[in-house]
Structure 1
Amino acid sequence: MKTASNKHDELGKCFAQHLSAMTSDISPKQINRLWQNIVTRYGEPQRAYHTLDHIEQLLVQFESIKHHLSEPHIIALALYYHDVIYDPTCSDNELKSAEFATDTLSSYLSTKQCQQIYALIMMTANHQIDTLVDSDKYNDAAYLLDMDLSILGAPWSAYEQYAKAIRQEYTHVADDSYRDGRTAVLQGLLAHPKLYLTDHYYNQLETQARANIKHELTSLAAL
């Protein structure tokens, strides 16, 4: 069984590979410093779901779909940084994460690459794709957003753990307020004609995701 440090080491190696593939103007020491900063952020005490375990789950997904992507290294870095700033009491985490990523990476990547990562992270705020992106970038963004929502279509046991972890992150919110807020979020998801934008994820997860969300709504109504 892998220990947390083993998993973090593997995630760190993967991070180094993607970043090194995009620039030769960075040293192993610099990459390690960037990685340790990510580890520190995702290890903050207010996190229960938005941890490095979440990033690991996304990178497992990434490995199975990366052949569909036109710019896999950009998508991988967007995954690593998309929740790097996370305060459950704030509503601008995606913006702060996008700014953090571009500020951190601007010394090593081109302006265009940083702008792409910024835009991708911002799309995770409402899981909608900017209509101005071209077809290749639309496809990449769609996979990124579907990966981020893939937990919704997990088996119920995994989904239930996810729901409990989200509640844990919102311990500062009273039960009634949490129930009302979470219910609104879930009903908003169900209102979408499709939860998943790519055929790959739609065909695999859509039915289970909708069943999970309805199950959680039933549980919330009973509180």
Structure 2
Amino acid sequence: MSLADRWPLGDRHDLRDELLAAWDRDGYHDLLHLTEVLDRLEELSAAGAAFDEVVVGLAAWFHDAVYDGADDDEERSAQWAESALPAASADEVARLVRMTVHHRPDDDDPAGCALSDADLAILAAPRERYDAYVAGVRADFAHLPDDEFRAGRAAVLGDLAAKPHLFHTPQARELWESPARANLERELSQLH
């Protein structure tokens, strides 16, 4: 199934095409990332995680739709969702997009937990894909000198590693926690 065929709003092909164009860029936050987030949401659903698949799917489509390295990428992505989506789903999709700034949904937020887990599932990727992800993140921050990038990346990974669990749903913990921890430890050791 093509990425275009996974669009949850069948009658809004214009918006889908705008989003696909926005995601069509170099670096980690590209069409492959969108595809992988949608794949992980399907995996979570198949494993029994309960969440509104249309709303969370829309949030996945919007969560990094604006990505240019500015501090307000998620906010601008959320605002795009608010202006482009029907009122019935716009507020919730925008809330979910904003949640991806820190990936700390409340435990009683199944939609936020599912989106956060799917977005962070790359941390559990096999070594070759994980290394490509890291290279993509470095490309996203090519404007930073190596030492500044390493320090920032180590801080982000250290914050994640300090959490009691990287993932919020029991399904994601079962599927991805162990390999994600191993990847984080390996990358952190390389950064230090």
The verdict on a shared fold, with TM-score over 0.5 as the criterion, is: yes
Alpha-carbon distance in 2 for matches of 1:189, 1:70: 24
Partner SS state of residue 19, structure 1: coil
Match of 2:39 in 1: 60
Listed one character per residue, the Cα deviations across residues 28-87 of structure 1 (whole Å, up to 9, x for unaligned) are xxx22112211221123xx31101111111122222233533421001110011100001
Match of 1:163 in 2: 134
Alpha-carbon distance in 1 for matches of 2:133, 2:71: 20
Letter in 1 for 2:9: L
Partner SS state of residue 9, structure 2: helix
Letter in 1 for 2:97: I
Listed one character per residue, the Cα deviations across residues 169-206 of structure 1 (whole Å, up to 9, x for unaligned) are 11100011111111111111111111001111111211
Alpha-carbon distance in 2 for matches of 1:40, 1:129: 29
Letter in 2 for 1:35: R
Q: CA RMSD in A?
A: 1.6
Which of 151, 159, 170 aligns to 1:188? It is 159
Pairing 1:139–2:102 present: no
TM-score, with normalisation over the residues of structure 1?
0.80
Alpha-carbon distance in 1 for matches of 2:30, 2:139: 13
User: Does the 8 Å contact 1:123/1:130 carry over to 2?
Assistant: no
Match of 1:19 in 2: 9
Alpha-carbon distance in 1 for matches of 2:125, 2:51: 26
User: Does the 8 Å contact 2:103/2:116 carry over to 1?
Assistant: yes
Q: How far has the Cα of 1:211 moved from its partner?
A: 1.2
Listed one character per residue, the Cα deviations across residues 132-177 of structure 1 (whole Å, up to 9, x for unaligned) are xxx4xx1122111100000001112211110111001111000111
Alpha-carbon distance in 2 for matches of 1:65, 1:197: 11
Match of 1:32 in 2: 13
Letter in 2 for 1:157: E
Pairing 1:127–2:103 present: yes
**Count of equivalent residues:** 190
Distance 1:152 1:117, change over 3 A: same
Structure number with larger C-alpha Rg: 1
Structure of greater relative contact order (alpha carbons < 8 Å, 6+ residues apart): 2
User: Does the 8 Å contact 1:48/1:168 carry over to 2?
Assistant: yes
TM-score, with normalisation over the residues of structure 2?
0.92
Alpha-carbon distance in 1 for matches of 2:4, 2:82: 19
Alpha-carbon distance in 2 for matches of 1:119, 1:81: 11
Q: Which runs of 5+ in 1 are unaligned?
A: 1-6, 21-26
After the TM superposition, which parts of structure 1 deviate over 4 Å for at least 4 consecutive aligned residues?
none
Q: Residues 104-119 of structure 1: matches in 2 within 5 Å? A: 104-105=84-85, 109=86, 111-119=87-95
